[in-house]
Structure 1
Amino acid sequence: MSGPDGQASPALVVDVEQAQPMPLRGSLRCEGGELLALVGPSGAGKTSLVRVLAGLMRPQQGRVQVGGEVWCDTARGVFLPPQRRHVGLVFQNYALMPHLDAVGNVALSLLHLPLDERLVQARRWLDHVHLGADQQTRRPAALSGGEQQRVAVARALARAPRLLLLDEPFSAVDQMNRQGLYRLLADLRRELAIPIVLVTHDLNEARMLADRLVVMDAGQVLQQGSPAHIHNAPRNARVADLMGIQNRFQGQWLGPSDTPGQGLLRWTSEGGSSEMAPVLKVRDKGKIPAGQAVNWVVPSDGISLCDAGAVGPTDFSAEVMEARHLGEITLATLSLNAVPGARLVLTLSGARRQGFALGARIGVRLDPALVHVMPLRTG
């Protein structure tokens, strides 16, 4: 990827491993002009990783490089302090100076310039993030949460950063202001040719804004890739849980089928008879031994509605156990006769919602090409 001047944009490359003060292990890469989102539960290590990138924490073992510049290499004894890393930081709580107006807060990033030039540049960046002239003269207490966040973004960009770090930047902003900040970030991304790392608990936010996701748990990078790839092919059941994938089931891998590239998956359930359990013909990557217990997922794109009396090998008769009508969408939970205890969760819109009342009988069809099978890891 190239920057505005035609030169290659700097990529962020990270490899870190430590046990203390908290476990942190994994590698990631974020290209220039790309937005990478770190997602995971509280305590997953997202903020600790951001601190390593910013130079606020020295890892026990690790390497951080942006473009051709090495910021940290513990094997060679290299560790650049924060002020030498040219990192733009935007925090959840804004971290603005309460005694300074918006212009004064942004000017703090420009202390290397004469005072007059400092103020000119600060106003230019505030204009750039669409903060009006009246708001620019106000102190943080007189600004809304969204306006304070725009000041924080302007201050981060005024440093001409080589890396932009956004640590839960929208979580303290109401939904209306949040939408405006999303649009601002989308506009800025078209202009910036630097890596951008976003920390967020909001999966919808991550999917909407990020080119790639890094899923973390207990200090470890579990999986990274595009939002669509991770959602459709989580590495394991824990990733599926963290990504909020609701249609996850148990099964047994029976081995290859008579069709090249496909295998047989028995859909099992607690307390059900395995002999009577349905068998699906799905993709086979040749990595799972026959007889292995597995978890498997199917995304909502792989579930469609059909006639209740359909009899195809991937068609199932279902009963509506729950139907919550939320404006233009309906959240529905279905039970399947063929798999006791199994529940399918669907989000429906438009004409597909017709007939979704409690107790209604309906047919569902699974797309075997979108079924993703994961070996069941045991302790």
Structure 2
Amino acid sequence: MKIADRALVAEVDQLLPMALHSSLRCEAGELLALVGPSGAGKTSMLRVLAGLMRPQSAKVVVGGEVWCDTQQGIWLPPQRRHVGLVFQNYALMPHLSALGNVALSLLHLPAAERRQQARRWLVHVGLSTDQQDRRPAGLSGGQQQRVAVARALAREPQLLLLDEPFSAVDQMNRQGLYRLLADLRRELSVPIVLVTHDLNEARLLADRLVVMDAGRVLQTGTPASIHDAPRNARVADLVGIHNRFQGEWLGTAAEPGMGRMRWMAPADQANAGPVLTVRDKGKLPDGQRVTWVIPSDGITLLPPETLGAGDFDAEVVEARHLGEITLATLALAAVPGAALRLTLSGAQRQGLVVGARWGVRLAMDKVHVMPVRSP
């Protein structure tokens, strides 16, 4: 079977027990991360895929095999779906050893082969023979999660589902689990769906993000594409874009493909702020209220004496030095109430102290403009 044929394709449409109107596709060997606030429907979507929730209307196909099609009356129970499921709380049997927990997923095999396969997978995830023979209480959180991963993989799944798998693990063990997942991804040719509240984790691990809210998919794309061009202000909020501002669209500019936008101060929409020349997709009417964002790599700090036309004078109003990085907030004199938030590393951050003045240059080709929809 071709790798493309092993993809996951799912469409769900229901009102109860919670509203869920979503569709997604995950290719074999791809990691798809579902992100969004609590109650967005991420875990419910995972439960539908695993067969733990029977939806009102849905179709789930994995590797060309129909697991669920409510129109055709098809619904395979969890035990008939080749799914590996890793939970946040490990879900290990406390009275069994790590070896016994993994062997429990291999009951279809003879006892001797069951133990042999279980040991193979535990070695594969990095547990020693001594650790394999311990019960969960004798293992660290990271080791317990490795047992849970080995148990999920021992079933040789066609689909791997990860439900907040690293949130209960300390940062040091979490980094080790990230590396383990990266290694396993190179070996597995199955779709992997991850639910996480940690945006940094999602960006680090995922090929694509699915941004969900209130049971609906708002946007799907690579982490970079969503961060640089969110579909709307709600997506910008959900993926943690800090530099988001208000504006008014003024129309086309003299330069082809560019438009004019007034940067509006958040405290006073009537304030006549500076006019920016940004990319124009030809979809906005004159006078349209807009929200716009700019990624951090579109913001350059300059010594104040080097300011040129179109640059801004700014003052550092907050600076937090966190080891090798600094989180800084700068206020702009030209736009009262507007604040730029930056994460910086390297020598330049040493001059970021509260009260210091800097010049700011914005890369206008990186500005992404979104219309504000009327309620």
Instruction: Provide the TM-score with structure 1 as the length reference.
Output: 0.96
Give deviations 1:234-293, integer Å, cap 9, x for gaps: 111111111111100000111221222111111001344757311111111122222110
CA RMSD of aligned residues (A): 1.5
What residue in structure 1 maps to residue 52 of structure 2? 56
| Residue in 1 that maps onto 2:112 | 116
1:151 lines up with 2:147 in the alignment: yes
Q: Secondary structure at the match of 2:341?
A: strand
Specify the code of the residue in structure 2 equivalent to 1:199.
V
Distance, in Å, in 1 between the alignment partners of 2:208 and 2:245 is 26
Partner in structure 1 of residue 215 of structure 2: 219
Match of 1:202 in 2: 198
Q: Which runs of 4+ in 1 moved over 2 A?
A: 5-9, 270-276, 309-314
In the other structure, the counterpart of 1:84 is 80
Deviation at 1:311, TM superposition (A): 5.1
CA shift for structure 1 position 314: 3.5
**Counterparts of 2:19 and 2:310 in 1: how far apart (Å)?**
44
* 2:37 paired residue among 37, 41, 56: 41
Offset at residue 354 of structure 1 (A): 3.4
| Separation in 1, partners of 2:198, 2:90 | 18
Partner residue in 2 for 1:104: 100
Structure 2 match to 1:231: 227
Question: Out of 311, 320, 325, which is 2:321 matched to?
Answer: 325
Contact 1:309 1:317 in 2 (8 A): no
Deviation string, structure 1 residues 210-254 (Cα, Å, up to 9, x no partner)? 000111111111111000011111111111111111100000111
- 3-state DSSP of counterpart to 2:351: coil
**SS across alignment from 1:354:** helix
Looking at structure 1, the residues matched to 324 and 360 of structure 2 have their Cα atoms a distance apart, in angstroms, of 21
**Cα distance, 1:313 vs. partner?**
4.7
Identity of aligned residues (%): 73
Tell me, what secondary structure is at the counterpart of 1:107?
helix
Q: Residue type of the partner of 2:199? A: L
Q: Within 5 A, what are the aligned runs for 1:186-197?
A: 186-197=182-193
Offset, 1:191: 0.1
Mapped pair 1:184 → 2:208: no
Distance 1:273 1:144, change over 3 A: closer
Classify 1:249/1:189 alpha carbon distance in 2 versus 1 (closer, same or farther; 3 Å): same
**Pair 1:166-2:162 in alignment:** yes
Q: Does 1:128 align with 2:145?
A: no
1:304 aligns with 2:283: no
Amino acid across the alignment from 1:17:
D
Counterpart CA distance in 2 for 1:123 and 1:271 is 63
Distance 1:335 1:148, change over 3 A: same
Give, in whole Å, the separation in 2 of the partners of 1:126 and 1:8: 29
Distance 1:7 1:279, change over 3 A: closer
1:140 is matched with 136
Once the two structures are overlaid, the 10-residue window that deviates more, 262-271 or 192-201, is 262-271
* Residue type of the alignment partner of 1:205: E
**Is residue 337 of structure 1 aligned with residue 333 of structure 2?**
yes
Secondary structure in structure 2 of the residue aligned to 1:64: strand
1:22 and 2:18 aligned: yes
> In the alignment, does 2:234 pair up with 1:248?
no
| Residue of 338, 342, 347 corresponding to 1:346 | 342
Q: Does 1:66 align with 2:44?
A: no
Give the secondary-structure state (helix, strand or coil) at the position aligned to 1:155.
Answer: helix
Q: Per the alignment, in what secondary structure is the counterpart of residue 6 of structure 2?
A: coil
Residue type matched to 2:125 in 1? V
Secondary structure class of the residue paired with 1:119: helix
Partner of 1:32: 28
Question: Which range moves more in the overlay, 106-115 or 268-277?
Answer: 268-277
**Secondary structure in 1 matching 2:29:** coil
Say if 1:316 and 1:243 are closer, same or farther in 2 by CA, change over 3 A. same
Matches within 5 A, 1:258-297: 258-272=254-268, 274=270, 276-297=272-293
Amino acid at match of 2:42: K
Cα distance change on mapping 1:313 and 1:292 into 2, 3 Å: farther
Gaps of 5+ in 2: none
DSSP 3-state at the match of 1:244: coil
AA aligned to 2:79 is: Q
- Which of 251-260 and 51-60 deviates more? 251-260
Give the SS at the match of 1:358.
Answer: coil
Q: 3-state DSSP class of the match of 1:377?
A: coil
User: Is 1:9–1:193's contact at 8 Å kept on the other side of the alignment?
Assistant: no
Tell me if 1:356 matches 2:352: yes
Unpaired segments ≥5 residues, structure 1: none
Code of the residue aligned with 1:350 in structure 2: it is G
Instruction: Compute the displacement of 1:118 (Å).
Output: 0.6
Does the Cα contact within 8 Å between 2:245 and 2:266 map onto a contact in 1? Answer: no
**TM-score computed with the length of structure 2 as normaliser:** 0.97
